[in-house]
Amino acid sequence: MKKTSVFSLILFTVALTMGSVAAAQDVLKIGVPQPLSGGGAPWGVPVDRAVRLAAEDINTAGGIKADGKTYQIKVIRNGWRA
């Protein structure tokens, strides 16, 4: 009984590891050069939020598939942050 439990635990751990390796995806960075403060903030903040929501929806749906690869979207503000 004890050997079966240990074996099951090892098998479960290997299955989780294999799943995360198979799910590894490349990242597609998209810059959002919008003003987030000052006079342009009333336009820039909603655009920034909309892009982030769209990226979240796309990532939840599985990302972008192109040329046999799957990409997750990462939104970066003002195009300079990694």
- Which pLDDT score is estimated for 76? 87
Amino acid identity, position 40: G
Can you point out the beta strands (E) in the chain? 26-32, 64-66, 69-77
Q: Give the predicted TM-score (pTM) of the model.
A: 0.61
pLDDT at 10 over 70: no
Q: In which band, very low, low, confident or very high, does the pLDDT at 78 lie, cut at 50, 70 and 90?
A: low
Q: In which band, very low, low, confident or very high, does the pLDDT at 9 lie, cut at 50, 70 and 90?
A: very low
Report, as an integer, the average pLDDT of 5-20: 48
- Which pLDDT score is estimated for 61? 95
> What is the C-alpha to C-alpha distance for residues 74 and 71, in angstroms, rounded to an integer?
9
Residue extents of the structural domains in the chain: 25-82
48 with 36: CB under 8 angstroms?
yes
Q: What are 22-73's pLDDT values in tens digits?
A: 455 699 998 888 888 889 889 888 988 999 999 999 999 999 998 899 999 9
> What is the C-alpha to C-alpha distance for residues 36 and 32, in angstroms, rounded to an integer?
10
